[in-house]
Amino acid sequence: MYKILFLCLLTSCSFIQRKGRWGHDAFTKGSFRNVKNAIVYHAKNPQFWAPLGAAAVVYGAGQDKKISSWAVKESPLFDGVKDADAKSDDYELLFKTQMYLSVLLPASWEDGWASYAKNKVKGAAVTYLSYSATRQTVTQIKIAEPRQRPSRLDNESFPSGHAARASSKRHLIAHNLEASDINPHVRNGINTINGLMTASVMWARVEANKHHLSDVLAGYSVGYFLSGVFYDSLLNLDTAETFVLMPSTDKVTALYSLSF
């Protein structure tokens, strides 16, 4: 993982003067015009509703305590409670490092260093604020919906903050990589590794006896949804909407696409 982070840092230098406007429209007049689209898009995405639905099933079936007890007793992935707890913190630090490095990769060069620096600062601010908003929202949910941890240490089990933060940073990193000119194979490799690392963070919190399985699944959904909505809205991404009719000899085909 450290080699990948080092590669990102080195390759970012070759992207500096590539034409691009990442960060240019952030916080400008007309910002937040895509809030509705961002909400709808992320709400429809399986990365939001699938984990949330799974959390509801696990919780509704009363399987949380059984799964937590088994995970702590058997430790199938980590070497005991302390190791699982430590690993979740280590992975979170890796995610944080990646997130900050990822803002170097999107193409932000327009006419000179002044515009480049301004675009980068604005894009970095969007990345940070999207993550910060997620973190603060999770804190408020914990206060509003107290749930006792499996360890009975406190009532801050729902939702998992580690899972939400890992999901948020994974999503933001993927956004920034998508806006860059990095090799698609490298980008896919990083996203795959980050997906596995996010799953490891989530399960580590269960093995560490800090959260129930439904807590980490809900945390993932919250992190994905909030960071994505804030990122798309604050960055003020343009909505690309097209509707095309393609007539042929025997029928007419309609193609509609919406991306942002």
pLDDT in tens, 111-137: 788 888 999 999 999 999 999 999 999
Q: How far is it, in rounded angstroms, from Cα 83 to Cα 211?
A: 15
User: How is 122-184 classified by DSSP, letter by letter?
Assistant: HHHHHHHHHHHHHHHHHHHHHHHS-B--TT-S-SB-SS-HHHHHHHHHHHHHHHHHHTB---H
Q: How far is it, in rounded angstroms, from Cα 9 to Cα 102?
A: 8
- Write out the H or E segment, with its range, that includes residue 254: strand 252-259
Is the pLDDT score of 4 beyond 60? no
Q: How far is it, in rounded angstroms, from Cα 161 to Cα 226?
A: 13
Range of weakest confidence among 31-40, 84-93, 109-118, 156-165: 31-40
Q: What is the pTM of this model?
A: 0.84
Hey, how many other C-beta atoms are within 10 angstroms of the C-beta on 258? 12
Q: Do the beta carbons of residue 20 and residue 107 sit within 8 Å?
A: yes
Is the pLDDT score of 54 beyond 60? yes
